[in-house]
Structure 1
Amino acid sequence: MHTDLVAALDIGGTKIAGALVDGRGTILVRAQCATPAQEDGDTVMGAVEEVLGRLARSPLWERATALGIGSAGPVDASAGTVSPVNVPGWRDYPLVERARAAAGGLPVELIGDGVAITAAEHWQGAARGHDDALCMVVSTGVGGGLVLGGRLHPGPTGNAGHIGHISVDLDGDACPCGARGCVERIASGPNIARRAVEMGWRPGPDGDTSAAAVAAAARAGDPVALASFELAARALAAGIAATATLVEIDIAVIGGGVAKAGEVLFAPLRRALRDYATLSFVRDLEVVPARMGTDAGLVGAAAAALARQADTAAAVS
């Protein structure tokens, strides 16, 4: 696998990152541009084509055998389309077809961004060596992905493991997805911050009301800030325990901006998990911080492309 080289894209509402990645997961060439998220769909695609064009100018490009794409979702890998919540110009947008054309006909593997991060953490990060894992991203939203039986499990459309929209509070707040009491509605960064303000937390003189500011206040012992993180931790624990009970994972990896709060999040999360993960086969579930950092989306998209190639090669032989 070490001679393999694939192209990778990590498409989000803020930036479109691209890379050429080898079979060991090393990024050899990079390109990036801002996502024109509020423009029409073809303008956004133009930015994707610009990133691919920059990669194609590298002499290594001719060795690339596939293109892996991790995109903000929802994605539909079976249809080759994406409808990212934060890119309104893309609704059922035929990304796979357009990206294949822009990449000179390379085979394209599309997965959601949560699944991409899961692939990266399993290949090289905190879930390495675990055959059954849940990886989560807790930031502006809450996403995730599953590794089952030692293999990435994206599901038919590429969205399996989307833990942010498990309901953990049956009579909870309405979530923009249409359900109530979703993990994301309680545990995402903006919701941690919103709830802290509603509960009476007041920001410092700089007026910063972000989740990071709430985390700093919690670290300093502010009881309201701590209470908001406690609620987020309980929601995450309930969602993780439900997932573990359903599919028998033995590790949950948590990344994203909210995870940077550290023990302000992880200490109450581990406590709450003991309340929810009570059956014998989930009691030893570990919860750990992600390790892959900002390159996770790119490395994971590459991992998915390499895995698909390996499957195709096995099927042919």
Structure 2
Amino acid sequence: MPNDLVAALDIGGTKIAGALVDSGGGLLARVQRPTPAQESAERLRATVDEVVGELAATAHWHRVGAVGIGSAGPVDAKAGTVSPVNIPAWRDHPLIADVRARAGGLPVSLIGDGPAIAAAEHWQGAAKGRTDALCMVVSTGVGGGLILGGALHSGPTGNAGHIGHISVDMDGDPCPCGSRGCVETIASGTNIARRALESGWRPGPDQDATAAGVAASARAGDPVARAAFGRAARALAAAIAATAALVELDIAVIGGGVARAGEVLFAPLRAELERYATLPYIRHLELTPAATGTDAGLIGAAAAGWRLLGERVA
């Protein structure tokens, strides 16, 4: 049954994952490697080659009709290149050409990791059936994508919805993107932990100095840990409300490692959103956790591959 599968690649700052995915969103095979984010472009390319090569070695590869890639960005879908903020060696790196060569000439589609997560949540997750949605990932970085008019809106270059680089503090810290006070500089897991440490928080004996450790302390009532999450929630709420004011949204979906903190994040986020989302047409914006979990990037990348084959799955 040729062309009844697509290959999906999820490329981020910590992992490069691959899978074969059917038209119902089912994953038939998985491959994952750590991202050598601080190494050379050649080493990064070799890691992608390993992932694609392992997928190509499966018994199902002959059924694959296209490859979809969701990559940390910014990306340039027109040029086929990526320049991820958190992967310094890749600047205007020709990722589509690399993957097409390794995949035997199959057609390849590229979108940012934020739009990939939006596609996943619209196809299989919390935004399924919704017309207008913002879907976010809050993890090592902060990204997002938009569903507008019932379809993924990834923009001309594949980056639309990149909410992590909306500035919410004009005098804030410099961001690796070149701006200042971006949501990511406040609300990413890395920066939640940094803020807590700078304010005097220290992990307990069974914790580490990460956002997960800060969340555990916040859950136990530590005021410094709670303040770090409250500050992150304020930044996220300001950006969500601004996005909703621009494009009118039904729902905002939040996923990623930081979102796994649960009510430690969502309770202050709901409270802050009430403060910022004050216009009548955004006052009742729904806020909910993502449903596709750690597979979101792969599912969204697969959606991009299916669109190359004429299937609108998200």
> Aligning the two structures, in what range does the TM-score lie when normalised by the shorter sequence?
over 0.9
Equivalenced residues, count: 311
Distance 1:34 1:195, change over 3 A: closer
Confirm or deny that 1:213 pairs with 2:233: no
Aligned AA (2:178): G
Measured after TM superposition, the shift of residue 121 of structure 1 is 0.8
3-state SS of 1:65 partner: strand
Corresponding position of 1:156:
156
Corresponding position of 1:222:
222
Q: Contact 2:207/2:213 (CA < 8 Å) preserved in 1?
A: no
| C-alpha distance in structure 2 between counterparts of 1:153 and 1:77, whole Å | 13
Aligned AA (1:125): G
| C-alpha distance in structure 2 between counterparts of 1:58 and 1:104, whole Å | 14
3-state SS of 1:252 partner: strand
Corresponding position of 1:238:
238
Residues 211-241 of structure 1, C-alpha deviations (whole Å, 9 max, x = no match): 1111111111111111111111111000000
Moved more, 42-51 or 75-84: 42-51
Corresponding position of 1:256:
256
Measured after TM superposition, the shift of residue 85 of structure 1 is 2.5
Corresponding position of 2:301:
301
Taking the TM superposition and a 5 Å limit, the aligned residue runs for 1:1-317 are 4-205=4-205, 208-310=208-310
Measured after TM superposition, the shift of residue 203 of structure 1 is 2.5
Structure 1: tracts of 5 or more residues without a match = 313-317
3-state SS of 2:309 partner: helix
3-state SS of 1:47 partner: helix
Q: Contact 2:233/2:268 (CA < 8 Å) preserved in 1?
A: yes
Q: Contact 2:214/2:225 (CA < 8 Å) preserved in 1?
A: yes
Q: Contact 2:212/2:261 (CA < 8 Å) preserved in 1?
A: yes
Residues 164-210 of structure 1, C-alpha deviations (whole Å, 9 max, x = no match): 11111222222222222211111111211111222222322457221
Q: Please report the TM-score for the alignment, with normalisation by the length of structure 1.
A: 0.93
Identity of aligned residues (%): 72
| C-alpha distance in structure 1 between counterparts of 2:164 and 2:225, whole Å | 22
- Report the aligned-residue RMSD: 1.7
Distance 1:185 1:22, change over 3 A: same
Q: Contact 2:107/2:308 (CA < 8 Å) preserved in 1?
A: no
Aligned AA (1:64): V
Q: Which runs of at least 4 in structure 1 moved beyond 6 Å after TM superposition?
A: none
Aligned AA (2:121): E
Corresponding position of 1:315:
none
| C-alpha distance in structure 2 between counterparts of 1:63 and 1:207, whole Å | 45
Q: Please report the TM-score for the alignment, with normalisation by the length of structure 2.
A: 0.94
| C-alpha distance in structure 2 between counterparts of 1:299 and 1:311, whole Å | 14
| C-alpha distance in structure 1 between counterparts of 2:298 and 2:290, whole Å | 15
| C-alpha distance in structure 1 between counterparts of 2:175 and 2:45, whole Å | 29
Moved more, 244-253 or 7-16: 7-16
Aligned AA (1:111): I
Residues 50-74 of structure 1, C-alpha deviations (whole Å, 9 max, x = no match): 2212211223211211100011112
Structure 2: tracts of 5 or more residues without a match = none
Measured after TM superposition, the shift of residue 272 of structure 1 is 0.8
